[in-house]
Amino acid sequence: QQQVKQSPQSLIVQKGGISIINCAYENTAFDYFPWYQQFPGKGPALLIAIRPDVSEKKEGRFTISFNKSAKQFSLHIMDSQPGDSATYFCAATPGYKLSFGAGTTVTVRA
């Protein structure tokens, strides 16, 4: 049973465009929401994370938006670049283990 639902499964965006990935959860015990980036043949790597008491967090071209009442959060990749082509996973943790979404494969076309 997947505790974090992620969409879309894949997306294609033109260079310079905005990529948006959405996630939803039910477990109110989750208290930290990270995003991981995985390139082909590599392990996932932490990209950015947010706590539920913050509605938005920005790091460079990556922004997390968090809606606690709706139990939803999203990743926005601004000015998408070909080097951003990867699989992105949202995740959630109650403090001792991560539950991952199913992943979104982002392809940025030059």
Partner 1 sequence: DTAVSQTPKYLVTQMGNDKSIKCEQNLGHDTMYWYKQDSKKFLKIMFSYNNKELIINETVPNRFSPKSPDKAHLNLHINSLELGDSAVYFCASSQDVEDSYEQYFGPGTRLTVT
**Under the rule (CB under 8 A), what is the footprint of partner 1?**
32-34, 38, 41-46, 49, 87, 89, 91, 93, 95-100, 102-103, 105
Taking the least distance from each CB to partner 1, the nearer of 43 and 110 is: 43
Q: Nearest to residue 31, comparing CAs of 97, 95, 100, 99?
A: 95
Taking the least distance from each CB to partner 1, the nearer of 74 and 104 is: 104
Question: Taking the complex as a whole, how short is the minimal distance between the CB of residue 13 and partner 1, in angstroms?
Answer: 19
Q: Nearest to residue 23, comparing CAs of 109, 92, 94?
A: 92
Taking the least distance from each CB to partner 1, the nearer of 74 and 93 is: 93
